[in-house]
Amino acid sequence: MIMRSTLSFLLAVASFSAMAQSEITKLEPVSFSQVTITDNFWKPKLEKIATSAVPVMIYQTEIATGRIRNYEKVARHQNEKHEGIYYDDSDVYKALEAIAYSLKNDADKALEQKADEWIDKIAAAQEEDGYINTFYSLTGLENRWSDMEKHEDYCAGHLMEAGVAYYQTTGKRKLLDVAIKMADHIDETFRKPNRPWVAGHEEIELALVKLYKVTDDKKYLELSDWFLDQRGHGHGKGGIWDNPQWGPKYAQDDVPVKDQKEITGHAVRAMYLYTGAADVAAAKNDAGYMNAMKTVWEDVVYRNMYVTGGIGSSGSNEGFSVDFDLPNENAYSETCASVGMVFWNQRMNALEGNSKYIDVLERSLYNAALDGLSLEGNRFFYGNPLASSGQHNRREWFGTACCPSNISRLVASVGDYIYAKSEDAIWVNLFIGSMTKFQFGSVEVPVEMTTNYPLDGVINLTLNPEQKSKYALKLRLPGWAKDEPVPGGLYKFDGERKEDFSLLLNGKPIAYTEENGYLTIEREWEKGDQIQYSLPMEVRKLVSREEVTANADRIAIQRGPLVYCVEGADNNGKAWNILIPENANFNVVEYQVLDEKVMAVQADMTILSGSEDGTNLQSETKKITAIPYYTWANRGQNEMQVWLPTKIQEVKIIR
């Protein structure tokens, strides 16, 4: 294992100690329910969720599997058999959450009626004391809360998230009330002396904070803090804890949360845990959690993150192995982990007001997470490799079906991640065509953003305060628009930047300050003020730190927030026989991948042919097309590579 730098660690400790003595910065992200998406890139994807992904989830939930039938069986009280896996309830709740977001984007009455039908069945399956979990209701309530790995609290967390989302969209409380009753049951069962419990699969921590925010009942915030505080004290028993291959590290239970310094174990569980910890840090002004989160975040981003923003390289534990172990073809990089990276980095940004967290969020969102959803919206990736010999393909469903509903709820709720607000400022984090409103004192400020991002880098903002009003506008300046593609230097640009950003107010240059990755304009704003913000969208080559041996003598291609790959479908069926010359001249062209309009990158490269053993090699120069990584594997199984070789010994001939 690569050892951490002692000096870096000591400097980090000093930095954290200083921060612990000061007030935590707090931003309030603007909710999806307050944002209307008009974007050329994202709106069609939201529509695909509603018209393709949601129907798949409804079919799988009602017909192909027993997920809804389990609730019906509980309500009938006829001792019927449970169908499926003990954590399948969670998929129903995530599907309902995705439906809630879709209803915000398109008020489909038939879809809302279907959701209400499910909610009625869920409510009918709730026990009198508030407990709800179809596995234990059908297999024996006497065994509930006896096995920490059985995901009871995980399912409850997804119920809470769904209840909150459905209430925020429709105003209907039925599912929210079911969630509240379950939360009250959990609180009454556990938050008492000598009753330890460690959630085997984290999720309830972040969900309880959502419940706290919508109900304003601090009991749920304290319960979330209680769950966090249970970890690292030897309370974990059975299942994963007794497995010598996994142990407490697998569930982030080896040390208390506030003492954690490195990423370990199952990637999705880790992301949900750290999102909840950041939420509690913000709500309780607890610098202890924030310090731990920042330390672990640096371990993830500086040493354990793919160039796509994916995390969790190992399939054996669905998570982390050792530092810089980032294989490409065997990458696990679970879709759910990338969804979790979006959650966690949003919370970190809200705590600290630093754009580096949104840089990582954007990388994960546009690449590793979005890759989990097919262009047609009805097929999915569980893992997201960065290379393929043609063995990978998208699927409609999985035995463990967390990823389809997870990526669907993320895409449908993308409005959650665009804007944030502080006491005296509007923060623009993502560049997505949309409309929302801010309130400063008695003045309402409608904001409209229009853009073709990420096809081009021009972002237009129109601010329409009801009357002249003074506040700050903070525009994120992405690291990739400067010379830092990712914080910490795990990946660096190869070559000099040739373009720069520009910023205009009503067609004229405007003064600004730059701090923590944001350009700040402070002035008295008037109705109709227009900002034109242009980001450089040049093609850049990326290289890895030398410790990432999988990428030795290779480069990756990035344009704007998008990482590119070479796929056989665009290159005579081949992607492994390519040698990229040092002086490659990249051209950007409009291109179609099925119905998806993209900006492809083309360059003349060396194509090698011959025997698989490397003999009888011949070379020729051909124009090679690279496409955005998220679009690959939509035209059948074929070869693909993100990291392209720069030396002949790295080229592979596949017959």
Poorest-confidence range of 8-22, 90-104, 558-572?
A: 8-22
**Number of helical (H) and strand (E) elements in the chain, helices listed first:** 17, 24
Question: How high does pLDDT run on average in the chain?
Answer: 94
43-72, pLDDT tens digit by residue? 999 999 999 999 999 999 999 999 999 999
Q: Note the pLDDT of residue 24.
A: 55
How confident is the model over 566-571, as a mean pLDDT? 97
Residue 433, exposed/middle/buried by CB under 10 A (0-12, 13-18, 19+)?
A: buried
Tokens of 105: 């984007």
Q: Note the pLDDT of residue 6.
A: 37
292 pLDDT more than 90: yes
| H/E stretch holding 569 | none
203, 318, 352, 362: which one is catalytic? Answer: 318
Q: Which amino acid does the sequence have at 560?
A: G
Contact criterion met (CB below 8 Å) for 100 and 164:
no
Q: Note the pLDDT of residue 26.
A: 80
Cα–chain center distance at 485 = 18
110 Cβ contact partners less than 8 Å away, ≥ 6 residues apart: none
Phi then psi for residue 136, to 5 deg, are -75, -30
Q: Note the pLDDT of residue 614.
A: 62
628-648, pLDDT tens digit by residue? 999 999 999 999 999 999 998
Q: Note the pLDDT of residue 175.
A: 98
140 phi-psi bin (left φ>0, alpha ψ -120 to 50, beta other): left
Query: Distance (Å, rounded) from C-alpha 401 to C-alpha 449?
Result: 35
123 Cβ contact partners less than 8 Å away, ≥ 6 residues apart: 174, 175, 177, 178
How confident is the model over 169-195, as a mean pLDDT? 96
Contact criterion met (CB below 8 Å) for 306 and 368:
yes
Q: Note the pLDDT of residue 316.
A: 87
Query: Distance (Å, rounded) from C-alpha 515 to C-alpha 268?
Result: 32
11 pLDDT more than 60: no
127 pLDDT more than 50: yes
12 pLDDT more than 60: no
Strands 469-476 and 425-428: parallel
Q: Tell me whether residue 402 is one of the annotated catalytic residues.
A: yes
Q: Going from the N-terminus, what domains does the chain have, and what CATH number goes with each? A: 6-16+26-31+43-384+398-417 (1.50.10), 420-534 (2.60.40), 553-650 (no CATH)
Q: Note the pLDDT of residue 16.
A: 39
Contact criterion met (CB below 8 Å) for 529 and 591:
no
Tokens of 97: 């959450």
Share of the chain above pLDDT 90, in %: 90
Q: Note the pLDDT of residue 284.
A: 95
Give the chain's end-to-end CA distance (angstroms, integer): 36
Q: How does residue 610 score in pLDDT terms, banded at 50, 70 and 90? A: confident
Q: Note the pLDDT of residue 58.
A: 97
Poorest-confidence range of 90-94, 106-110, 224-228?
A: 106-110
Tokens of 373: 């959803």
161, 298, 362, 402: which one is catalytic? Answer: 402
580 Cβ contact partners less than 8 Å away, ≥ 6 residues apart: 555, 603, 605, 606, 644, 645, 646
pTM for the whole thing?
0.95
37 pLDDT more than 90: yes
The CB density around residue 623, as the number of other CB atoms within 10 Å, is 11
Q: Note the pLDDT of residue 393.
A: 95
Q: What is the DSSP-derived secondary structure letter of residue 130?
A: S
10 pLDDT more than 60: no
21-31, pLDDT tens digit by residue? 345 568 999 99
The SS3 of residue 169 is helix
Task: Look at residues 476, 470, 463, 539 and name the one whose alpha carbon lies nearest to residue 503.
Answer: 476
19 pLDDT more than 80: no
276 pLDDT more than 50: yes
605 pLDDT more than 70: yes
